[in-house]
Amino acid sequence: METCTSSVSIFTDWLTQHLEELVDDLLSVIGRDSIAASPLYGDPALQAVLRSETTLLVARIFKELESGLPSTVTSPEARHIARLAALHGTPLDDVVNAHWEAYAVVQDAYFRAAKEAAIPPDSALQLLRSACRRLLEHTSGLIDTVTDEYMEALRNNETDENALRLHAVQAVLNESGAQVGQAPYDLDAEHVAVVASGAAARAVSAYARERGPYAVATFVDEDVVWAWFSSVGPRQVRDAVLARTRSGEMGIGAAAKGVDGFRQSHRQAQAAYRVCGQTDQTGTCFADVIPESIALADLDSTRGLVQRQLGRLALDGTREAVLRETMVVYLESGQNARAAAAKLGLTERTVANRLQAVRTLLPPSAEPSSLELALALRLMPLVRRNGGARTRRADPVPAG
């Protein structure tokens, strides 16, 4: 019994350590097969909600397994996902299929855990039998729970004002309608779209109410808002929201006219929101982050660009970070070392020494004054955030 308890602990420790990787795999599978067309997968704010709730749900299953006492997993996260799916028109069959696909991904992780955690064969066999049986029971129970919650949400959505407004908005976005039903909003106007979450979402909603007939906003989750504004520019929207709060995340599209502009600005707001999530900004206008939004759409190519242009300057060390910052300020200062030194609070000689150190780290083909190098430096934080930088020992920063 002691060996069994020890094996369970080792097994669940391995699963917990690999939880984030497992959730990545799980969402990749269901996004490819079951809910690819759903806003739950396509919208960055809703995708973040789905990821958070899925992580908590899987962690609950691991915790129940670790306890050694078989019990029903009660999951508010599964209920939340069901309500979201109903609100956004994701078919119930797709939601159920997503649970079975998730079951297969987690079961594969169980077998990998038993192998990589080096659990003795006899204990591993017994453990896997128990774990897979309980996982099957949990999945069946969760599907029952989700089905009930989904059907109840559908009934509630038939009379909920926010849900009706969202469905009218979705009809326009999906090119199946040309009117935003419950809202007195002119689709022929010039639109600025917003996607926001957290405190920023509440501030956007409040600002939309103030704008009256010149705005429409709808909660697409308990803490996420989609909105459109007319007769106001992107930066005015940003400033109005940030005057209310500096918390949450918000992406703002460029102004665009008519029904096509309504859709285009929304896509841009989603892209800007995705950049917010990668750069820890509260509010971002699409026009200010076009390179970053393109880079996030193809991270492999972005990593290649950064590595080709920066070479060893892309290493994840304190020295390289200081040198990159110096190079960014130098380029922003029109390649004027004196101006860069003033901005950095350094002597001109120190800046010159750092620039010389930068040149020794760059690939021979890189041009220190090129637009490509400036772009690589700008995109470097995104690459680091997504696991693209290499680590190294600390080296001294050149001094004056």
- 212-238: per-residue pLDDT in tens? 999 999 999 999 999 999 989 999 999
Pairing mode, strands 283-285 and 249-252: parallel
Whether residues 17 and 134 fall in one domain: yes
pLDDT at residue 263 above 90? yes
Whether residues 251 and 330 fall in one domain: no
Minimal CA–CA distance to 360: which of 303, 294, 311, 306?
311
- 164-213: per-residue pLDDT in tens? 999 989 989 987 666 665 555 889 999 999 999 999 999 999 999 999 99
- 21-50: per-residue pLDDT in tens? 999 999 999 888 777 778 888 899 999 999
Whether residues 314 and 252 fall in one domain: no
Q: Residue 216: which domain range?
A: 166-295
- 49-79: per-residue pLDDT in tens? 999 999 999 999 999 888 877 777 788 999 9
Band (397; pLDDT cuts 50, 70, 90): low
* Domain final residue pick, 93, 123, 157: 157
Share of the chain above pLDDT 90, in %: 72
Q: How far is CA 193 from CA 233, 320, 371, in A?
A: 10, 38, 30
Mean pLDDT of 346-375: 91
Whether residues 228 and 349 fall in one domain: no
* Domain final residue pick, 295, 322, 338: 295
* Domain final residue pick, 295, 325, 345: 295
Q: Decide if 397 is inside a domain.
A: no
Band (323; pLDDT cuts 50, 70, 90): very high
Predicted model pTM: 0.84
Whole-number pLDDT of residue 203 = 97
Whether residues 6 and 137 fall in one domain: yes
Lowest mean pLDDT among 3-12, 297-306, 387-396: 387-396
User: With contact defined as beta carbons under 8 Å apart, do 255 and 192 qualify?
Assistant: yes
Whether residues 84 and 216 fall in one domain: no
User: With contact defined as beta carbons under 8 Å apart, do 329 and 340 qualify?
Assistant: yes
pLDDT at residue 2 above 80? no
End-to-end CA distance of the chain: 66
Whether residues 347 and 229 fall in one domain: no
- 269-311: per-residue pLDDT in tens? 999 999 988 888 889 999 999 999 999 888 889 999 999 999 9
Q: Decide if 391 is inside a domain.
A: no
Neighbours of 125 (CB within 10 A): 12
Whole-number pLDDT of residue 317 = 87
Whole-number pLDDT of residue 180 = 64
Q: Decide if 21 is inside a domain.
A: yes
Strands (E), 132-254: 190-197, 215-221, 224-230, 249-252
Share of the chain above pLDDT 70, in %: 92
Whether residues 113 and 252 fall in one domain: no
Whether residues 140 and 28 fall in one domain: yes
Number of H helices, E strands in the chain: 17, 6
Whole-number pLDDT of residue 6 = 81
Q: Decide if 16 is inside a domain.
A: yes
Q: Decide if 393 is inside a domain.
A: no
Whether residues 204 and 148 fall in one domain: no
Band (367; pLDDT cuts 50, 70, 90): confident
Whole-number pLDDT of residue 177 = 63
